[in-house]
Structure 1
Amino acid sequence: MMDAFSVAVLILLVAVAAGLDPSQCIAPLGMESGSIKDSDIAASSSFDNKNVGPQHGRMRMELNGGAWCPQTPATAELKEWLEIDFHTVHMITGSGTQGRFGNGQGAEFAEAYMLEYWRPSLSKWIRYRNHLGEEVIKGNINTYLESKSLLDPPIIANKVRFLPYSYHKRTVCMRVELYGCRWTDGIVSYSMPQGDKRGANWEFYDNAYDGHWDGEKLKHGLGQLTDGKVAPDDFKVPFYEQSVQGWVGWKNDTRENKPIEITFEFDRVREFTAVHIYCNNQFTKDVQVFSTATVLFSVGGKRYKGEPITFDYIEDRIFESPRNVSIKLHHRVGRFVKLQVQFAARWMLLSEVTFDSTVVNGNITEEEELPEETNLQKDQIATPGMDSKNIISAVNTPSGLGQYLGIVVGFLAVIIVLILVVVVFIYIQNRRYKSSPRPSQVPGGCDKAALYREPPDPEYAVPLQQPHTSRPPPNVQNFFPKAPPIPPPPERYYAATEICNTGFVPPPPPLSTPPPVRLSRQPRYVTSARTYIGP
């Protein structure tokens, strides 16, 4: 038959099926099974460490003395404690205690006790209080029956202490067990402004917050936004039924229309795929879902690097039921996440914020802190109309589109640069070709005016004249290797006088030209028959 504790846990889990897994968060955490080692159990003192030391304070175990018994009796002034170290953060939804049965010889049990817990983001041990603000938890009435208690809100911690309590001085012994599951969300703290009051009696405070409150802002703790419980549809119900989880809310009039900023710190660097925000939308009572949400990421927490993700919510003035607004985060990486939500009406009420994330393995370098004037995202407030923002609408695009678009843009940019380089190179070569003189095949020591082309009439020499025409620009195909052209037939030149003495040999005269007269030879003899040239 199911006891009252199990019924209460099931009722809680039905209400928050989206936040807690029933198959995980009601499981015993290892005191009875032995998965919690003796070295992970400590105590302030023991009456006899060998027989009733802290290692014997396990539920339903009868080793040696059969329980943990402190050295001094329990009173209203808490002095003794039994500590359990999980080493990792757990969500603890219930606790159980027994007295010392001692095989029928024991007579000691704790009528009441308190709990304290420790978490890495906390600088001290925190006394547990339930949603009614009560610290004392009901204990045992005998030495053998277990007394279970539902923890509402649950404890999120990696160390827990049992402190025996009594209104009158008495000897106590305890065997204990804790119930819950491992805290997989990875959130160790969140910081934000404390909620506001509505009217004289309605307070939308985060009453479950266990961190520091400086009068305005909550720092380094956890509370109602991460306890796995959602508030009822009507925000008025918790003010009449104290057992019901309430809303955390802010008033736009006191915020000068600035967004509410919530900073989440995680245990390790994580890759985020989505965030889910449970919001109230009773618009007939001046309460609406936020109009815009901006999400920023940081590894070290000092500088939020990269473009923020911005989500614009479509206003709903038809249905007043609360809703879970989901925002895709597109695998962004960080250990700190800053969430900025902008008012859409006079009031904004939130109940739960959860993240879908996985731990990133490997070393990731923290962002370097920039000077104040260049640190644009440090304590940045989202401004409507920002140019540098990653806008996410209600219909989200595929997560990989941005990556493919970046590759295509980069490839096109490289092609454009190459084309520009080729065009500039061609232009420069063309300018150089036009400005340079035409190369001559005649040696430099020759007077070009003295060169003559072979005339058609052998008795005349025609000066060599070249028409002055501009040369056409080189063809683009000349820049690529090709077969050498067939050389044109060589032109024949000769000089009228010996003006070239630098190796230039003029071509021989044509065969029809008579040989020159030799002055050293004998004179000619002329006859009537034919001309004879003597030897």
Structure 2
Amino acid sequence: MNVATGIVFVFVRSLIVTVSVEGVEPSQCIAPLGMENGLIKDTDITASSSFDHGNVGPHHGRIRNEINGGAWCPSTQATPETKEWIEIDLHTVHMITATETQGRFGNGQGVEFAESYMLEYYRPRLNKWIRYRTKTNGELLKGNINTYLEFKTMLDPPIWASKIRFLPYSSHKRTVCMRVEVYGCKWSDGIVSYSMPQGDRKGNSWEFYDFTYDGHWDGEKLKYGLGQLTDGQKAPDDFKLSFHQEDTQGWVGWRNDTRDNKPVEVTFEFDKIREFTAVHIYTNNQFTKEVQVFSTAKIFFSVGGKRYKGEPITYDSFEDRIIESPRNVSVKLHHRVGRFVKLQLYFASRWILISEITFESSPVSGNFTEEEEQLDNTIQEKKKVTVKGDNNKNVISAVNNQQGIGQYLGIIVGVFTVLVLFMVAIVVYVLVQQRRYKSSPRPSQIPDKAALYRTPSLGHLTTTSSDYADYAVPLQRSQQPPRTPPDPLHFFPKPPLIPPPSEQYYAATDVCKPQFTPPPPPLSTPPPVRLQRQPRYVSGKPYIGP
């Protein structure tokens, strides 16, 4: 490898590494959501119970606030069996990246705090409460050690929720009180859930599973949840590091030979119909370890999620067997519209490893309905008409079958084709005839032996100064105006109404007369005119001679 090639590779590598991904960045999604500053209303804070609602009710569980009793205190003591909770309703889905807790100081009179707690969250697509777990599959989060110091916990992975609950925990019975705050931002990406096959294992040591997925797992496919592909965290360049470092984001991977060479399908559901401009896929390319960027990606769009109509957007990636670092593959989506997006990723090697998938999109307004799906269901119901028999039912079709329709359609197409060919033949014939007529010589250009000479005068020459005998004189061609092509509508010849008159041959006029003596043949050139010479008469007829 020479120096110039090395410089190009470094430049390309820098481009790959510096490509940014659109979406929510967890490091910037750290704003307090409103417990301390009051943006979250009292009516949006509830609890399982309160020791004294007016004094230590849930609306007093705001961090760094000393109102009345100064915290929320449940009516029962905390135990290993968590039963009590304080709930915050955010109304819309938020990405929650951190939580903070504090005990009850109570102007120096409080002695209650929670050493540990758990979290539960809810969002509409899940339709149930989910217990939060860390990447290490832990449920307990560290609480407080006294009544006045706050303790903030970063959530890894983050939580996507519209409601969140704090559940105080204690390994032994004790009275607890809590003040809380949540940090994060509104989930602007609009992704409600994604569904896909669960990842595969590589040998006995490495599992490329989506461990943080919070939806339903039926043993083969993940449904209705969110996980590592949308948490905004990138996996390391070397996929092995995620198995040796607990705090490192892992890869989700699929093996080709377990899919029968079929593509990996990942379907995203959004909160509303959106207009999409791009999708970014963060993928690995350790080709020396049988991991490569997908060869082809096909993206489908749907409004209802049941049928994906229209041509998909197809992206063919180039094979890179030089640089092994992961990269963002960006695909333009050309303002396609839908609420469901399905990605099909085709294998270029044995493995595909994905860390993040983000979209550039914006909500659109308009009348988008699922009428096509409803119409299809109605047609299916109309097709099935049951006919009662003696002991059985036969299902018949209320619409003509496809084979009969095809036969009639073939006949119609055949007749139409014959008519078209007939019309084309007529047009071609007319054009050929017109061309022939234009290229053939006109009647005025054809020499006619009968018309070349006009009839000589019936009498003898009366001019005494002429030495010519009676002979035919050539006619002068008449100047005729140019002829125009005939009208195609009257182009075909018509039979004459009256038979044409018989032709007159001038050479036969005198021959038919009796007692005809032929004159001597004319000289090749007329004799010169001799002046002052009178004609001689031979046998009573004028004769001009030398």
Both proteins in one fold, TM over 0.5 = yes
Within 2, Cα distance between the matches of 1:144 and 1:273? 49
Opposite residue 303 of structure 2, the aligned amino acid is V
Within 1, Cα distance between the matches of 2:148 and 2:20? 33
Which residue does the alignment assign to 2:205? Answer: 201
2:160 corresponds, among 150, 156, 163, to: 156
Within 1, Cα distance between the matches of 2:288 and 2:277? 33
Which residue does the alignment assign to 2:14? Answer: none
Q: Structure 1 residues 328 and 17 mapped into 2: Cα distance closer, same or farther (>3 Å)?
A: closer
2:140 corresponds, among 136, 160, 168, to: 136
Q: Structure 1 residues 160 and 36 mapped into 2: Cα distance closer, same or farther (>3 Å)?
A: same
Percentage of pairs with the same residue: 72
1:233 aligns with 2:237: yes
Aligned length: 376
Contact 1:268–1:335 (8 Å) recurs in 2:
yes
Contact 2:24–2:189 (8 Å) recurs in 1:
no
Opposite residue 330 of structure 1, the aligned amino acid is H
Which residue does the alignment assign to 1:473? Answer: 487
Which residue does the alignment assign to 2:397? Answer: none
Which residue does the alignment assign to 2:324? Answer: 320
Q: Which runs of 5+ in 2 are unaligned?
A: 1-17, 381-419, 432-483, 490-546
1:50 corresponds, among 54, 77, 97, to: 54
Contact 2:21–2:328 (8 Å) recurs in 1:
no
Opposite residue 39 of structure 2, the aligned amino acid is S
SS state of the match for residue 102, structure 1?
coil
Contact 1:271–1:333 (8 Å) recurs in 2:
yes
Q: Structure 1 residues 55 and 17 mapped into 2: Cα distance closer, same or farther (>3 Å)?
A: farther
Which residue does the alignment assign to 1:347? Answer: 351
Q: Structure 1 residues 245 and 301 mapped into 2: Cα distance closer, same or farther (>3 Å)?
A: same
Which residue does the alignment assign to 1:190? Answer: 194
What per-residue deviation string (whole Å, max 9, x for no partner) do you get for residues 422-463 of structure 1?
A: x99x97xx99xxxxxxxxxxxxxxxxxxxxxxxxxxxxxxxx
Contact 2:26–2:233 (8 Å) recurs in 1:
no
Which residue does the alignment assign to 1:393? Answer: none
Q: Once superposed, what is the RMSD of the aligned Cα atoms? A: 2.8
What per-residue deviation string (whole Å, max 9, x for no partner) do you get for residues 65-123 of structure 1?
A: 11111111111101001111111111111000001111111111100000000111102
1:276 corresponds, among 259, 276, 280, to: 280
How far off its partner does 1:305 sit? 2.0
Which residue does the alignment assign to 2:215? Answer: 211
Within 2, Cα distance between the matches of 1:248 and 1:158? 26
Contact 2:292–2:349 (8 Å) recurs in 1:
yes
SS state of the match for residue 238, structure 1?
helix
1:259 aligns with 2:263: yes
Contact 2:24–2:187 (8 Å) recurs in 1:
no
How far off its partner does 1:324 sit? 0.3
Within 2, Cα distance between the matches of 1:287 and 1:192? 19
What per-residue deviation string (whole Å, max 9, x for no partner) do you get for residues 298-329 of structure 1?
A: 11111112211111111111100000000000
Within 1, Cα distance between the matches of 2:117 and 2:328? 38
What per-residue deviation string (whole Å, max 9, x for no partner) do you get for residues 171-220 of structure 1?
A: 11000000111111110100000000000121000000000110100010
Contact 1:16–1:229 (8 Å) recurs in 2:
no
Quick check: which has more Rg, 1 or 2? 2
Which residue does the alignment assign to 2:65? Answer: 61
Within 2, Cα distance between the matches of 1:346 and 1:253? 7
Which residue does the alignment assign to 1:458? Answer: none
Within 1, Cα distance between the matches of 2:324 and 2:142? 40
Contact 1:89–1:183 (8 Å) recurs in 2:
yes
How far off its partner does 1:47 sit? 0.6
Contact 1:16–1:228 (8 Å) recurs in 2:
no
Contact 1:235–1:247 (8 Å) recurs in 2:
yes
How far off its partner does 1:22 sit? 6.7
What per-residue deviation string (whole Å, max 9, x for no partner) do you get for residues 372-397 of structure 1?
A: 9x99xxxxxxxxxxxxxxxxxxxxxx
Within 1, Cα distance between the matches of 2:43 and 2:271? 24
Contact 2:26–2:97 (8 Å) recurs in 1:
no
Within 1, Cα distance between the matches of 2:282 and 2:371? 31
How far off its partner does 1:21 sit? 4.0
How far off its partner does 1:347 sit? 0.6
Opposite residue 67 of structure 1, the aligned amino acid is A
1:301 corresponds, among 298, 301, 305, to: 305
Within 1, Cα distance between the matches of 2:195 and 2:263? 14
